[in-house]
Amino acid sequence: MSATPGATVWLTGLSGAGKSTIAEALAEQLRAEDRRVEVLDGDVLRQGISQGLGFSREDRDTHVRRAGFVASLLSRNGVLTLVPVIAPYAESRAAVRERHASDGTTYVEVYLSTPVEECRRRDVKGLYAQADAGAITPMTGAGDPYEPPTDPDLTIDTTGRELSDVVHGLRTLLHEKGLL
């Protein structure tokens, strides 16, 4: 494996913004280059370390902090950790950033600013439709708030963008930060 400094790259944004798709595409490229990389997908984490948590603000904060803890552990051990997790609240994202700072690990925040209308149009998982029908409550972007980052390292609206273009932009950022 090629030596890559560990870091956490947190991809935040609404459901349907492209977080997981982008993280997996970047991870695939990096693995092909023999780099140490891990994806901590929010949906997958909810089946493991966050199993049993709901979607109240308290449960979401717990989920985000757990994801941040695992990401920090991996990052300080030389793994480039991609974290596609909605993380709707600024306070819990700030707590994750602070944990990384106290651990001496790099934290990069990428905000996928894709508008809710586009996310609804994609509705890959059918979540917005379920929320509209009252089957899912609360849902971020459909009645539950999302607090956009005020100072992310990179902001990307994925509307009408090719996946390869978005991944290239993210790679450019990581290269500029000395992480690739």
Q: Mean pLDDT across the stretch 1-24? A: 89
Q: How far is CA 77 from CA 5, 67, 73, in A?
A: 9, 16, 7
Whether the pLDDT of residue 138 is over 80: the answer is: no
Q: Mean pLDDT across the stretch 48-60? A: 86
- DSSP class per residue in 136-167: S-SEETBEE-----SS-SEEE--TT--HHHHH
Lowest mean pLDDT among 93-107, 123-137, 139-153, 159-173: 123-137
Count of alpha carbons within 13 angstroms of residue 171, beta-carbon side:
15
Q: Mean pLDDT across the stretch 54-60? A: 86
Whether the pLDDT of residue 125 is over 90: the answer is: no
49: helix, coil or strand?
A: coil
Whether the pLDDT of residue 62 is over 60: the answer is: yes
Percent of the chain residues topping a pLDDT of 90? 73
C-alpha 27/C-alpha 162 separation (Å) is 17
Closest C-alpha among 86, 108, 77, 98 to residue 172: 108
Strands 80-84 and 106-112: unpaired
pTM above 0.85, yes or no: yes
Whether the pLDDT of residue 2 is over 80: the answer is: no
Strand partners, 9: 82, 108
Cβ–Cβ < 8 Å for 132, 143: no
Whether the pLDDT of residue 1 is over 80: the answer is: no
Q: Mean pLDDT across the stretch 116-138? A: 85
